[in-house]
Amino acid sequence: MAQCRGDDTTTAVTLRIRADPCPWSVGFSAPDHHTEVDNQRSTKLYNVEIHSKSVHSLTDLDGNADVIQTYPVIRSGATPKRDQYSITAKVGSAGKTEEISTTAEFCDETQKTTVEKLSVLYELDIP
């Protein structure tokens, strides 16, 4: 059974992703892809871009091969930024395993020109 979640952390910034519900069962609603960026630094994050995509092109996220969410600023200690996208299996993908990849890129308030990156991948079994 595929693991439908993952996280990556760098210096007090965490990217969490998951599919819910998981496992994806025949006859039940398809899961949603959830992303969360949590800034626990003492500084703001700027130009945050969260990019999620289907690795094997077996599914769509909100009807597209990929989705991109941007936030101009995430304040220090703010409520984590959360997004949710529907996952749809493509014709012929039943019985296969998809991988959903998500990256978050951002600049710290103290280093506005240095881009930091977090990356997470999870597997999802398609019924």
Confidence check: pLDDT of 1 > 70: no
Mean pLDDT of 41-55: 96
- For the chain, give the DSSP string: ----EEEEEETTEEEEEEEESSS--TTSPPPEEEEEEEE-SSS-EEEEEEEEEESSSSEEETTBSEEEEEEEEE-TTPPPEEEEEEEEEPTT-TT-EEEEEEEEEEEETTEEEEEEEEEEEEEEE--
CATH code for 5-125?
2.60.40.10
Mean pLDDT of 27-48: 93
* Predicted TM-score (pTM) above 0.85: yes
**What confidence category does residue 112 fall into, taking pLDDT thresholds of 50, 70 and 90?**
confident
Mean pLDDT of 35-56: 97
Confidence check: pLDDT of 27 > 90: no
